[in-house]
Amino acid sequence: MASPRRSPGRILFLFLRDALVIVLAALVVSFLMKSFLIRSFFIPTDSMDPTLIRDDRIIVSQLTPSPFEINRGDVVVFVDPGGWLSLQRGVNEEDPLSWAMDAFSIFVGLSSPDNNEHLVKRVVGLPGDTVECCDAKGRMSINGVPLEEPYASLPEGVSKVSSNDFSVVVPSDSLWVMGDNRYNSADSRRNMDKPGGGFVPIDNVVGRAIVISWPQNRWQWLSNFPDTFAGIESRDTSR
């Protein structure tokens, strides 16, 4: 016995119903991902060049700093501790394709309109660390251990990894962060005159950047260079 034919109106209703269910399910999943797992950010400056270049888009895991700990060398996204963004130079509008991707990410919940309130830097000092620069060879040291930093970008002919000398002890629950483009980064060194002394509260960290997701030819996992920081003992009694 042949099944009764559905009317065009009934078919359209079922199609729209299923499409609505799929869209709502996608929005719920993306909301949960944004709230608990990952977010997307774009890079507006050259401060992390060459690791991250202008208009790169990155995926950030929100499982750091909790439940996973922050490690030295991690590239992290954090909320401006206060006044840092005023020192950033060369911030441009996104190109049309990046703008469209950002608009879509905001729509599905993987990104948000407050991206411009965040910064991206590499963690150098953890709570309790003594971070100093520079020694006779132009190197930075942590707790007396000199670093070889393959990710750091310096002007041609320059071997000193920071344009200014400094010696700081990182307070509890804070971080010392630096851009890989050492002579063009408004990082902890450039904000020592701010109320926070250039340190970033761990509570301000949104998460750890784990991958460059766009453009396609830039796709890569982001390393925290564990060999660079091997052998450095922690001075934070809470860790």
Please identify every residue annotated as catalytic: 47, 121
Backbone angles phi, psi at 14, to 5 degrees: -65, -40
Round to whole Å and give the CA distance between 183 and 237: 33
**Per the omega criterion (within 30 degrees of 0), is the bond before 81 cis?**
no
**Per the omega criterion (within 30 degrees of 0), is the bond before 215 cis?**
yes
Round to whole Å and give the CA distance between 207 and 16: 38
Beta strands in 30-173 (DSSP E): 38-42, 57-61, 75-79, 118-125, 130-133, 140-142, 145-146, 166-169
Contact status, residue 40 vs residue 105, Cβ threshold 8 Å: yes
